Amino acid sequence: MIESYLIEKMFNNAPFLDEMATDQGKIHSHWERIARYYEQIGSEKMRQFQEEVSRQLRENGVTYNVYGDPDGMNRPWILDPVPMVFNSEEWERIEKGLIQRTQLLNLILKDLYGDQKLIKEGLLPFELIYNHKGFLRQAHDIQLEGEQQLIQYSSDLARGPNGMMWVLHDRTDAPSGAGYTFENRAAMTRVFPELIRENHVRKITSYYQTFKNTLSSLTNNKENPRVVLLSPGPTNETFFEHAYISSFMGFTLAFGEDLTVSGGYVWLKTIKGLEKVDVIIRRVDDVFCDPLEFKNDSHLGVVGLMEAVRQKKVLVINPLGCRVLENPGLMAFLPKISKVFLGEDLILPSVATWWCGQEKELKYVFDHIETLVIRNIYRGTNHKSVFGGDLTEEQLQNLKKQIQRNPYMFVGQEMVDFSTSPSWINNKLEARNAVFRSYVVADSENNTYNVMPGGLSRSSPEKGAFLVSNQTGGISKDTWVLGKPKDVISKIPKIVKSQPLVRTVLPSRTGERLFWLGRYLERSAYAVRLMRMTLLSYNEADEDIHIHETPVLSTLLKTLTLMTGTLPGFTEKAILKNPESELLDLVHDVEKPGSLAFSIQSFLTNAFAVRDRLSLDTWRILDSISEELIKMRQSENSLLKAYHNLDNMVVKLMAFYGLNIDNMTRETTWHLLNIGRFIESAVNNCTILRGMLSKSFDTESNKELMEDTLRCNESLVTYRYRYRSNLEMQGVLSLLILHEDNPRSLIFQLLEIDSHLKALPNKDEHEQFGIERKKLLEAITKIRLCDVTEISTLDLESNEYSQLIILLDKTIELLHETSDLIYQKYFSHTGSAYSMIQTSIIPEI
């Protein structure tokens, strides 16, 4: 395995430096133990380890979203089992270079929003800064306490042809990837524990502890700070990381809709009311953070946030306006600024950059455009990098005209032939170009910066590809910094003085998602059970329904339409006579509101939005449900295969329910999820009774329908055990409506809703019973006062159980009203600040 890699390196004239081997086919000393280990275990074992790494990440729910790809939502995170490796001597230089660069950018940030000496003294052209959308004039003269303004920093580095590490990009606005780095390390530690231990790979947890210490020292509310992580939402490419970090570090995950500004302060909307926010760690681009002062069509930020920052009533990390430091044109001026500010040369050089706003540099770019990468000074979805060598002559001329119109908006950068690293591809080691992303955080206690001893490396999936990113299919790699045991101990930061334990609050939006998670869980489970019985009946009908209606099957089909709300559905005679197409749509069509696929997808979407509230084991169940949904949608148009898919699905849905009974603490999250569950369960119970048992047919059909109704409510065995007699209408209704000890009865479900409502925070202390509980009490009372003999008596004139229909319709009405009142009380207690603002697209971060 290693030998073939070295042979290819020696005899195939590989054009790039390699991280593991020299051009003469010798392995670098710091790679020797790792290479020897790979050679000992062999290809087959390596393949098994790769599968184990993938399984670890999949079971942990590590995902990544790809914009514009219909299959890109919640895509599994891909990790190469071969790491990127740095020895301790080289890392020492990289670490010093990163600290130096962060300090330099921090000084530039202070100057640009302060005295602006760099512009006044001609060290930076004002056109380069003022034309960059990341330079926010509203942030002028707004500074954090202390010297450090830049709290988090990331940079993408690659090894150039001279063997030195070069900086390709600076990331200062909302740097991402640290959460994925931690998950990569966790997976590699589980699969390669001996290899990590023998090589004394340095731990990366010091980064997170330093970050927490710095936050504690910066906020004015040091005793009990409220920290939220502001995320663009579940469709963002790195939403997994947002949920992961908030859960890992004990922060509250919030979206823009969860926050509001009042009285100059930022408040978190919770089901208890408004809670003041002290620190916002943002993963939203700065121009999207306040639609009042920046991008007015943004739906991702908080109206009035900038004013709260201006009044120093909330701390935002990184500060608004940091994105100006990502301007690639700055790289051309950093060496000189470093001499002025630090009196030092840059330890880590930037990739060679020519800003087109200068005449000499513009001429150089035009003369060498075919060998350069052309970039806009503002990174965004509408400004992609262009490789001059990939363009036709006509395209090159058009690009030059575009640059000439606004030369100060463009830079030309050298196309770096960066090094390759061994990657496990197609069951063998292959050389792939790799980029390393570093992470730096302010250490306010020591007034310096802490560099994570590792980071997120990415390699290209194809040979010779230099555009390496997750959006373009890049493969992640764990990054190992080798050292000695003393290095691990000495780098662990001191933990700040212990603070009082603070329980996290529940944002209203999270509460609403949990409520609907419970509702879609029950909706999906009822739909699966009813669909299974319908398909079973259909398969046994010998196609009689094509010729004439059969009471049992036609009732099942109509009840299916009634429960899913997919009108007109089987209420139309033509569809009822030929139901195959509609049945398949109800199983497979995720775009059809009310279909089984739609309900399960909605269940998964709500679960994904509250993933920070769910356990690891729960995510494993959700992953299996997601896989089953894919199988269900991709299966051939066969009702028989659909039936088998439904068998698997109902088991997994019940596994999710059972796991959360065991794992979730009986707090507000638990109560809201179960209120949603039992409201949906009660509504579906009423709907099935209404659809299946409201009419009378012949004796045999009535018996079958009663049996199916009990089976759909998982109560057939209970009925037989309790009554030990033939099925009777009165007994069925008594069991499914009135028996308080039957968890599938209507009265049991209503009482459970009331029990969970009682446990929620009561906003009005003067009211013993909230209006939602009063509405529910009306439904409970009607059920308890009903006469089972009366509701099971057939109206001979209409051939319907008219009193049963009245009771069920009224109960459904009261349940819908209760649900609306719960929403008004807990999920929409403050008006939306966005009523006058248009929706925006979610930016790429």
What is the CA 464 to chain-centroid distance, rounded?
31
pLDDT of 460-486, one tens digit each?
877 755 555 555 557 899 999 998 755
What integer pLDDT is reported at residue 465 of this predicted model?
55
Q: Which helix (H) or strand (E) holds 80?
A: strand 79-86
What integer pLDDT is reported at residue 834 of this predicted model?
40
Mean local confidence (pLDDT), 321-344: 96
First to last CA, the chain: 38
Q: What percent of the chain has pLDDT over 70?
A: 90
The values of phi and psi at residue 108, to 5°, are -65, -45
Classify burial at 544, counting beta carbons within 10 Å of its beta carbon; exposed 0-12, middle 13-18, buried 19 or more: exposed
Highest-confidence range of 62-66, 421-425, 811-815, by mean pLDDT? Answer: 811-815
Q: Of 332, 326, 369, 338, nearest to 354 (Cα)?
A: 332
Mean local confidence (pLDDT), 18-22: 89
503 has a pLDDT exceeding 60: no
What integer pLDDT is reported at residue 490 of this predicted model?
41
User: In the chain, which segments carry CATH 3.30.1490.270?
Assistant: 355-414
What integer pLDDT is reported at residue 518 of this predicted model?
94
pLDDT of 171-212, one tens digit each?
999 898 999 999 999 999 999 999 999 999 999 988 988 998
Tokens 């560099």: give the residue.
451
Mark 648-659 as b/e (b = at least 16 C-beta within 10 Å): bbbebbebbbeb
Q: What's at 103, amino acid-wise?
A: Q
Residue 327, CA distances (Å) to 25, 411, 660 in order: 40, 10, 47
Q: Measured between alpha carbons, how far is 580 from 565 in angstroms, rounded to an integer?
A: 18
Beta bridge partners of 86: 481
Look up residue 677 and give its two tokens. 């569950």
Please tell me the least confidently modeled range out of 95-99, 505-509, 656-660, 763-767. 763-767
428-443 and 152-159: which strand pairing?
A: antiparallel
843 has a pLDDT exceeding 70: no
Residue 99, CA distances (Å) to 206, 321, 339 in order: 15, 21, 16
What integer pLDDT is reported at residue 705 of this predicted model?
95
Higher pLDDT, 395 or 234: 395
What integer pLDDT is reported at residue 17 of this predicted model?
87
> Model's pTM, two decimal places?
0.83
Of the pLDDT bands very low, low, confident and very high (cuts 50, 70, 90), residue 657 is confident
What integer pLDDT is reported at residue 307 of this predicted model?
94
The CA-based angle 175-181-185, given to 5 degrees, is: 170
CA torsion, ordered 203, 207, 212, 215, to nearest 10 deg: 170
Higher pLDDT, 843 or 231: 231
Mean local confidence (pLDDT), 421-426: 90
Classify burial at 843, counting beta carbons within 10 Å of its beta carbon; exposed 0-12, middle 13-18, buried 19 or more: buried
* Fold of the domain spanning 355-414: Dna Ligase; domain 1 (3.30.1490)
pLDDT of 245-269, one tens digit each?
988 888 899 999 999 999 999 999 9
pLDDT of 571-612, one tens digit each?
998 898 888 999 999 999 999 999 999 999 999 999 888 887
Q: Measured between alpha carbons, how far is 488 from 482 in angstroms, rounded to an integer?
A: 10
Residue 207, CA distances (Å) to 151, 153, 157, 658 in order: 12, 12, 19, 37
Q: Give residues with Cβ within 8 angstroms of 723, minimum separation 6.
A: 731
Are residues 81 and 49 in contact, defined by beta-carbon separation less than 8 angstroms?
yes
What integer pLDDT is reported at residue 390 of this predicted model?
87
Mean local confidence (pLDDT), 532-541: 85
Q: Angle, nearest 10°, between helix axes 508-539 and 551-564?
A: 160
Of the pLDDT bands very low, low, confident and very high (cuts 50, 70, 90), residue 145 is confident
Q: What sign has the CA pseudo-torsion 295, 298, 303, 305?
A: negative
Are residues 358 and 125 in contact, defined by beta-carbon separation less than 8 angstroms?
yes
Look up residue 618 and give its two tokens. 């729960």
For the chain, give the mean pLDDT. 87
495 has a pLDDT exceeding 70: no
pLDDT of 68-112, one tens digit each?
554 545 677 889 999 999 999 999 999 999 999 999 999 999 999
Q: Measured between alpha carbons, how far is 303 from 270 in angstroms, rounded to an integer?
A: 18
